[in-house]
Structure 1
Amino acid sequence: MNKFTRSIALGLVALSLLGLTGLPATSQAKTLEEAVADGKLTVGIHNRAPWGFRGSDGLVTGFHPDLVRAAFEPLGIKQIDFVISDFGALIPGLNANRFDMIASGISITPERCGQVIFSEPDLSVLDGLIVKKGNPKNIHSYADIAKNPDIKLSGGRGSLNTKNALDAGVPTDQVLQLTDAQATLAAILSGRADAATISAPSAQALLADPNLAGLERAMPFKGLLKADGSEAAMYTAVAFRSKDKDLRDAYNKQLAKMIADGTVRKIMSKYGFADSDMAPSKTTQDICAGK
């Protein structure tokens, strides 16, 4: 077992313990008025850089936690607790009142819009692909995977990246749907998979780990292509329970201010996002409608 594989195993144990003992298990549904009166909110994350993760100092950091803190602290909500969950359990956890919102790189999709309500989008990012050093199977698109039955692709269960691969024609029996990013990378290192689909920013963050050897991004890479020939993007946002419209609306108001005054761009820069990753001109309503 190499150093990175050991770190994956230890990390999964640590996350399990944190989920059971380190953070509150439930959070009662609350209105904006109640949140301000309590001065606290509980937020679901899935522990992946650069979205929302526990840093080496034990504190939760990331693009979306920073964004949520910057939005709600001026409203008097100073205590923001974070609950770590598997990505696929975030929406069920939100609707089961384990937390008040999801702020961890979740993207807006028409299907998810039927389960939760989203803020306006804050970023627009593309899919990335992680492969073994040298890209031995010469993979540069989902089409390359679809036409070669010997290629196995790993991806997060319930992630838009995995859905994009399937929508691009990659057969289901060529896709290993796993719990998290660490598991998808471990599948490549162990030989169970040849590549892992993940958002481009997540791929960049994971490959920055000095303990991770033998892997690289497939460059160039083409993800799911739309009818007009452009690449399908992932529009990220913060998710709320359907009944918590006042909480969502308050966040949207703060988000618009932070976009205008440069706060969002500053947080983007901190986590390695470029101007090309800025929020699209599309609204959440458009994205939910599949436009």
Structure 2
Amino acid sequence: MAPPQGNDMIGRSVGRRSVLAGMAAIGAAAAVGCSRVSTADTTGGGNLLERLRAQGTVKLGIAGEIPFGYISKKAEITGEAPELAKVIFKRLGVPNVQAVPTEFGSLIPGLNSQQFDVIAAGMFVNPERCAQVLFADPDYEVLDAFIVRKGNPKNIHSYADIKKSGAKLASGTAYAEIDYAVDAGVPRGEIQIYPDQLAGLLAVAQGRADAFAGTSLTVRNVINQTKNPKVEGTKPFLPKLDGKPAYGAGAFAFRKGETQLRDAFNEELHKMKQNGEVKRVLKPFGFTDTEMTELTAEELCKK
């Protein structure tokens, strides 16, 4: 990955943003700001934004996953979502952010039980989650890609190609890509599972797997960082699940009823999209034009 954090940036992929179980335990050094927030009045659009302005600090629920939201080796909250939050909330009159680390699967329960004010973990927007939380519009979208041997000898460009060629597929623990492959007819039991994209790259380079499936961001970043001459990345593509496009679009999430805060947040986010600020903020974490999106929460909640 390209960011200045160097090797800190080789971490878990975004696969856990599927409806699969949340993962990634947080280190003890990241246990910051775990006190419960005060109960909000969510009638009439909610009053959370007013309360945050009064107290000057917003508590962000993060899942300790690079590059989306994590605690750096300098014990600072960072990642694509926290860095966006720092800019947007400051413009909304809330100058400080505080991290509340938790496992990914506990983010929605933690938000709704008032453990923190907003989820800032690059969470994928889908109808199931839309029934539980209020999403801002996505700030990024990721496609899928494969790590393959140099020259792509098995001509792999899709999950259908994996099935057709009989190639040995690998992916990461609980990655959404596993379900995409199974949907295309690849037997689940034949998919090799590795802890992260670096281990997957090594499996391909050493010939233990023909392809490692991950997001285009994951694939591009690990290849750029390792510079392994035996592998390359395929062209990004939009996967399918149950015959429908499987959009990987991540966004901030708020408690149901907090429409005033969500709308104010969206207004600033859209300004940053229009003037290119979103891309500039996300660039140090490996995001490019490919990951910029105009998808809305409204349309994703209906898909």
Which interval holds the TM-score relative to the shorter structure? Answer: 0.7 to 0.9
Aligned pair 1:70/2:87, yes or no?
Answer: yes
Aligned pair 1:202/2:193, yes or no?
Answer: no
- For this pair of structures, how many residues does the alignment match? 273
Task: Report what 1:239 is aligned to.
Answer: 253
> Is contact 1:140–1:218 with CA below 8 Å preserved after alignment?
no
Q: Which residues of 2 match residues 163-182 of structure 1 at below 5 A?
A: 163-175=179-191, 182=195
Secondary structure in 2 matching 1:264: helix
Which amino acid in the other structure matches residue 107 of structure 1?
A: F
Secondary structure in 2 matching 1:89: helix
Aligned pair 1:40/2:53, yes or no?
Answer: no
Distance 1:144 1:64, change over 3 A: same
Task: Report what 2:45 is aligned to.
Answer: none
> Is contact 1:43–1:100 with CA below 8 Å preserved after alignment?
yes
Aligned pair 1:24/2:33, yes or no?
Answer: yes
Task: Report what 1:287 is aligned to.
Answer: 300
TM-score by length of structure 1 reads 0.74
Q: Considering only aligned residues, what root-mean-square deviation do their CA atoms show, in Å?
A: 3.8
* 1:218-249 CA distance string (max 9 Å, x none): 424645248999x7542221112223333222
Aligned pair 1:91/2:108, yes or no?
Answer: yes
- How far has the Cα of 1:68 moved from its partner? 0.9
Secondary structure in 2 matching 1:34: helix
> Is contact 2:145–2:235 with CA below 8 Å preserved after alignment?
no
Secondary structure in 1 matching 2:98: strand
Aligned pair 1:271/2:282, yes or no?
Answer: no
**How far apart are the structure 1 equivalents of 2:216 and 2:95?**
32
- How far has the Cα of 1:80 moved from its partner? 0.8
**How far apart are the structure 2 equivalents of 1:13 and 1:94?**
18
Percent identity, aligned pairs only, is 34
**How far apart are the structure 2 equivalents of 1:175 and 1:115?**
32
Q: Which residues of 2 match residues 99-178 of structure 1 at below 5 A?
A: 99-130=116-147, 139-147=156-164, 151-157=168-174, 160-175=176-191
TM-score by length of structure 2 reads 0.71
Distance 1:285 1:154, change over 3 A: same
In structure 2, stretches of 5+ residues that fail to align are 1-6, 12-22, 41-47
Distance 1:266 1:168, change over 3 A: same
Q: Which residues of 2 match residues 248-263 of structure 1 at below 5 A?
A: 248-263=262-277
**How far apart are the structure 2 equivalents of 1:67 and 1:26?**
23
In structure 1, stretches of 5+ residues that fail to align are none
> Is contact 1:72–1:78 with CA below 8 Å preserved after alignment?
yes
> Is contact 1:94–1:101 with CA below 8 Å preserved after alignment?
yes
**How far apart are the structure 1 equivalents of 2:187 and 2:212?**
15
* 2:26 aligns with one of 15, 38, 57: 15
Distance 1:105 1:222, change over 3 A: same
